[in-house]
């Protein structure tokens, strides 16, 4: 009996020991953190905490503009097995508004909510944009913040194409066609908010209008050109494709928009130098074996050519410019030694000047301004200034564009020089002669592989003719363009 | 016969006992977890984020820690301003801000990372607390006995005096900044290594140079952090750094910039756990090894383990010149028998701001 009692006690003791109290069920959901908030988007972090395996029918977040969650936006992340973190994202919110968010979990029977977090969507802003200058169709970057999905960009009143919106902070935008103003404010519109900067965007401008075509169906090379006043432009001499000399000129009358043939009393030639009042030098025979130099020298005044004393030098590809009444010619002799001559019109006398350290030829471009000459070296773009009173040369800058194969244009209107159109380049730059700052202009239409035939100034416009490079086969008309540097 | 049969049975019982299966102690292949190291502060400068992938623990043959290349890394503040970081092409996996980036006290910052696999990671917002100035910086010599060595290890502890702001919880993190010291060498003892062109083993003294200034960036040998639970609103002295005496540094004058960074409570907790783990010595009182969660999360898979931490804080810097006489114990002077200018990081001229 005692044995039985003892066994019963042991058995009861074992029963008691084997009864383990079950842990109370702990299942809750918390709204942990606002990971991200922008103008129209938020990202929330929540967590299901549980001491056992659970299966949720749904989980996610409620987001509302009012604390009572009367009409919430629900971010449903679907089923979830087991505890752990979850992240929900909501877009399409209104900028600069306070919101309330809470995590939820649906266990089937009822929906349980976590703590409520208060947050605000952010206001958009522009920090900067670059570049501040550009042409139609180019891309600019706008840096800022909180550029939502429906961000629109305007250049003045013209809407631009938003190519890319990176992390709501960097907009890549294509410059639209201008509506008439050279400088415009850039405006970014996000929902009902509009932001802009005081700085304006400046369009690259300059328009080209085709006003005619060279009257003969030929391609002119190695020619000369000059203008008689603001309305008469002369293009001639040189050769037709280096096969036949042109004996004279074609004169374009700007007032009547007509071409007229003008005879030249002197010898035909190519590679001559010319200014508005002088023509000289060059080659009197086509071909280069050997070069046959032309030494005659002609003046042009009051609508007539006058022969002047022969040149004291022989030259091919010399470059010339006028300062005051005097003519200056820079080039190389047949033995390739450099020369620099000044022709004194009053005394009809040539004076040999000290040669500059740099070598200049017709391949370089030249313009004059306020009594000085400026020559653009076509090899490295260096701009040399020549002061005739001091006989001094100095470097004032560098041409920023393509130098192609040389033989470019340089013209002055007011305080601006327009430089470019070197052979096989369609670039034109504006040089401010007060600040010596550069600004690109719109490129010239037509084949970029062209070479200058002539360029002239009248009023506020340039008149330019180019011909496709001699290596290009085919029939190409030589179109004559009016270039308005301020045209939009 | 029966006896023999019994012995035979015992023998048969022994046989299976003698068979031992060798235990394969193979380690599981380590996961290649994204690891983030980033401390952004209010000191303007190029601040860096280092991204790597962890690998199996062991030799380099087991696994190689590789940089995470070509990721898109941005830092965003709570106003929505975004700063894009560029990858350092000479140190792949390191992403740098612009040269003038600085955190602003009061603002919160978030680090966002998009890897080339398309995974997007985000840190939790880290709010920048203002940091009090270091009112004084002093040194005290410390020695650590080394088993089997006559000379103990030694160095100087950097001790900061700070006036903790009252009424707020403050958490501090100190790092050693760039250091410069006077390097003394002995070019007069120069003996070249024999070579085909110069087989001589005779000393070939050089006339120059005996004294240079050597730049170095040494990491703290330890993690120096503190919270103000015990000195809230009070002035206190705390050990904030350590520079080991290697026989060269404290021969003349040593200069170091100490960076004091205010960090968030979560960053402090993270660093405290890392400090605990790195200081495990094998004692029974050591905390158990643990996996320390950082503050970065994969937006598609929040349960993915991401190692490391993005710290954003405010920083103040204090400079100290340590003279050899400030040390109460010095290591024997190390001798470099060559021109001091040939030592890495050394130059003959003193830095422009050298003003001991």
Q: What is the pLDDT of residues A319-338, one digit of tens each?
A: 999 999 899 999 998 888 89
pLDDT tens profile A164-215 = 998 889 999 999 999 989 999 999 999 999 999 999 999 999 999 999 999 9
Question: In this structure, how many other beta carbons lie within 10 angstroms of the beta carbon of residue B98?
Answer: 13
Indicate yes or no: pTM above 0.90: no
Pairs across A and B, CB distance < 8 A = 55
Indicate the average pLDDT of chain A: 92
B81 contacts in chain A (CB < 8 Å): 127, 145, 169
A39 contacts in chain B (CB < 8 Å): 80
**How far apart, in whole angstroms, are the C-alpha atoms of residue A64 and residue B228?**
39
Residue B276 has which token pair? 């605990």
Interface probe for A, chosen from B73, B74, B76, B80 (most Cβ of A below 10 Å), is: B80
pLDDT tens profile A445-475 = 999 899 999 999 999 999 999 999 999 888 8
Q: Do A125 and B80 touch (CB under 8 A)?
A: yes
Q: Closest partner residue to B82 among A34, A35, A169, by Cβ?
A: A169
A90 contacts in chain B (CB < 8 Å): none
pLDDT of residue B172: 96
SS (H, E, C) A249-306: EEEEECCCCEEEEECCCCCCCECCEECCCEEECCECCCCCCCCCECCCEEEEECCEEE
Residue B294 has which token pair? 């950082």
Residue whose structure tokens are 């471009």: A365
**How far apart, in whole angstroms, are the C-alpha atoms of residue B51 and residue B225?**
23
Q: Do A167 and B124 touch (CB under 8 A)?
A: no
Q: Do B80 and A87 touch (CB under 8 A)?
A: no
Give the residue-averaged pLDDT of A368-386.
96
Is ipTM beyond 0.90? no
Could you state, in order of their start, the residue ranges of all structural domains in chain B?
Answer: 29-128+291-312, 130-263+315-356
**Which of the listed CATH numbers 2.60.40, 2.60.120, 3.30.2310, 3.30.70 matches domain B29-128+291-312?**
2.60.40
Q: Do B80 and A127 touch (CB under 8 A)?
A: no
Interface probe for B, chosen from A85, A126, A144 (most Cβ of B below 10 Å), is: A85
Residue of chain B minimizing CA distance to A84: B303
Q: Do A35 and B297 touch (CB under 8 A)?
A: yes
pLDDT > 70? residue A15? no
Interior CA angle at A253 toward A252 and A257, to 5°? 95
Q: Do A35 and B81 touch (CB under 8 A)?
A: no
B84 contacts in chain A (CB < 8 Å): 170
B295 contacts in chain A (CB < 8 Å): none
CB-based contact A384:A340 (threshold 8 Å): no
**How far apart, in whole angstroms, are the C-alpha atoms of residue A180 and residue A467?**
31
CB-based contact A270:A488 (threshold 8 Å): no
pLDDT tens profile A223-246 = 999 999 999 999 999 999 999 999
pLDDT of residue B222: 86
The domains found in chain A, sorted by start residue, are 27-120 (2.60.40.10), 125-202 (2.60.40.10), 207-484 (2.120.10.80)
A35 contacts in chain B (CB < 8 Å): 110, 122, 124-125, 297, 299
pLDDT > 80? residue B23? no
**How far apart, in whole angstroms, are the C-alpha atoms of residue A370 and residue A434?**
11
- Nearest Cα of chain B lies from the Cα of A53 at a distance, in angstroms, of 16
């Amino acid at each position: 009996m005692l044995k039985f009692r003892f066994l019963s006690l042991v058995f009861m003791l074992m029963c008691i020991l084997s009864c383990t109290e079950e842990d109370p069920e702990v299942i809750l959901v918390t709204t942990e953190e606002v990971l991200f908030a922008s103008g129209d988007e938020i990202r929330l972090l929540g967590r299901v905490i549980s001491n056992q395996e659970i299966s949720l029918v749904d989980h996610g977040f409620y987001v509302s503009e009012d604390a009572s969650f009367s009409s919430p936006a629900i971010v449903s992340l679907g089923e979830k097995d087991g505890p752990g973190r979850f992240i929900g994202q909501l877009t399409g919110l209104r900028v600069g508004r306070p919101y309330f968010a809470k995590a939820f979990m649906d266990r089937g029977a009822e929906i349980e909510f976590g703590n409520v977090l208060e947050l605000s969507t952010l206001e958009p802003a522009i920090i900067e944009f670059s570049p501040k200058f550009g042409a139609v169709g180019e891309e600019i970057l706008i840096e800022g913040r909180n550029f939502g999905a429906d961000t629109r960009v305007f250049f003045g009143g013209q809407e631009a194409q938003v190519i890319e919106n990176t992390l709501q902070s960097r907009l890549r935008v294509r410059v639209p066609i201008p509506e008439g103003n050279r400088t415009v404010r850039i405006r970014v519109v996000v929902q009902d908010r509009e932001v802009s900067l005081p700085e304006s965007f400046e369009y690259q401008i300059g328009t080209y209008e085709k006003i005619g075509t060279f009257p003969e169906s030929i391609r002119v090379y190695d020619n000369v050109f000059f203008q008689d006043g603001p309305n008469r432009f002369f293009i001639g001499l040189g050769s037709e494709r280096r096969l036949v000399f042109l004996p004279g000129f074609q004169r374009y009358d700007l007032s009547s928009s007509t071409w007229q043939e003008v005879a030249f009393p002197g010898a035909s030639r190519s590679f001559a130098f010319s200014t508005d009042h002088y023509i000289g030098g060059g080659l009197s025979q086509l071909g280069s074996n050997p070069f046959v130099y032309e030494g005659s020298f002609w003046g042009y005044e009051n609508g007539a050519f006058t022969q002047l004393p022969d040149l004291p030098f022989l030259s091919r590809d010399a470059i010339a410019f006028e300062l005051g009444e005097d003519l200056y010619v820079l080039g190389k002799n047949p033995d390739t030694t450099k020369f620099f001559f000044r022709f004194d019109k009053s005394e009809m006398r040539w004076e040999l000047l000290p040669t500059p350290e740099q070598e200049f030829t017709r391949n370089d471009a030249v313009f004059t301004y306020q009594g000085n000459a400026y020559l653009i070296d076509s090899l490295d773009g260096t701009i040399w200034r020549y002061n005739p009173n001091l006989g001094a040369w100095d470097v004032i800058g560098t041409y920023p564009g393509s130098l192609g194969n040389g033989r470019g244009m340089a013209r002055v209107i007011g305080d601006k020089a327009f430089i470019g159109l070197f052979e096989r380049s369609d670039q034109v730059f504006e040089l401010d002669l007060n600040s010596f700052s550069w600004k690109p202009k719109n490129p010239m239409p037509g084949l970029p592989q062209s070479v200058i035939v002539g360029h002239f100034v009248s009023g506020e416009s340039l008149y330019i003719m180019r011909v496709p490079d001699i290596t290009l086969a085919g029939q190409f008309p030589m179109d004559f363009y009016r270039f308005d540097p301020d045209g939009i | 016969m029966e006896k023999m049969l019994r012995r035979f049975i015992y023998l048969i019982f022994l046989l299976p006992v003698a068979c031992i299966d060798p235990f394969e102690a193979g380690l599981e292949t380590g996961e290649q977890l994204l690891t983030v190291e980033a401390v952004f502060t209010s000191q303007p400068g190029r601040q860096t984020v280092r991204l790597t992938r962890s690998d199996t623990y062991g030799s380099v043959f087991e696994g190689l820690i590789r940089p995470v290349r070509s990721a898109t890394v941005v830092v965003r503040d709570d106003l929505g301003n975004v700063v894009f970081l560029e990858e350092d092409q000479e140190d792949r996996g390191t992403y740098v801000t612009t040269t003038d980036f600085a955190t602003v006290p009061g603002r919160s910052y978030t680090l966002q990372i998009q890897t080339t696999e398309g995974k997007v990671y985000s840190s939790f917002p880290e709010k920048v607390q203002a940091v009090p100035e270091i009112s004084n910086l002093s040194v005290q010599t410390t020695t650590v006995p080394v088993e089997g060595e006559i000379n103990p290890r030694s160095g100087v502890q950097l001790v900061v005096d700070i006036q903790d702001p009252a009424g707020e919880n403050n958490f501090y993190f100190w790092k050693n900044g760039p250091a410069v010291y006077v390097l003394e060498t002995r070019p007069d003892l120069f003996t070249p290594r024999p070579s085909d062109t110069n087989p001589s083993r005779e000393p070939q003294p050089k006339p120059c140079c005996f004294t240079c200034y050597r730049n170095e960036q040494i990491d703290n040998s330890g993690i120096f952090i503190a919270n103000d639970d015990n000195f809230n609103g009070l002035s206190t002295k705390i050990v904030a750094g350590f520079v080991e005496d290697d026989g060269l540094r404290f021969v003349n004058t040593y200069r170091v910039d100490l960076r004091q960074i205010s960090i968030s409570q979560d960053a402090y907790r993270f660093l405290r756990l890392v400090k605990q783990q790195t200081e495990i010595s094998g004692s029974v009182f050591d905390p158990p090894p643990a996996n320390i969660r950082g503050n970065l999360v994969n937006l598609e898979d929040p349960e993915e383990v991401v190692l490391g931490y993005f710290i954003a804080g405010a920083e103040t810097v204090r400079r100290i010149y340590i003279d050899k006489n400030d040390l109460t114990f010095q290591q024997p002077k190390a001798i470099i028998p060559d021109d001091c200018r040939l030592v890495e990081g050394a130059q003959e001229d003193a830095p422009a701001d050298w003003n001991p």
